Amino acid sequence: MKQFEATIYGRVQGVSFRYYTQQEAQKWGVNGWVANQRDGAVKVVAQGAEAALKSFIPFLRRGPIAARVQKVDLFWQEPAEEFTRFEVRWL
């Protein structure tokens, strides 16, 4: 199992980014969470098979149709806990 943490910048709040991220994660069998940040960014922690995560990343780089992704900071990391689903969180 692999894991990454991504912060997505641009017009990513108020455009259903979290909802579509959850749908895309479920499509690939990825667990973890997505949450809006106070600075206007969106944070994602994703966990699963490496191939599934690599298939999920292109969505984060483009987002849903109404989003305008400007930058994605993505860092691979060792899983600290095991997630059993992908959820929307409020931080």
Q: What's the pLDDT tens digit per position in 1-47?
A: 999 999 999 999 999 999 999 999 999 999 999 999 999 999 999 99
What class has domain 2-79?
A: alpha beta
Domain parsing of the chain, residue ranges: 2-79
Bin 14: left if φ > 0, else alpha if -120 < ψ < 50, else beta: left
Predicted TM-score (pTM) of the model is 0.95
Residue 91 clears pLDDT 80, i.e. is over it: no
Q: How far apart are CA 80 and CA 9, in angstroms?
A: 25
Cα dist from 88 to 49, 51, 76, whole Å: 20, 22, 20
Which residues are catalytic, by number? Answer: 18, 36
pLDDT for 90: 85
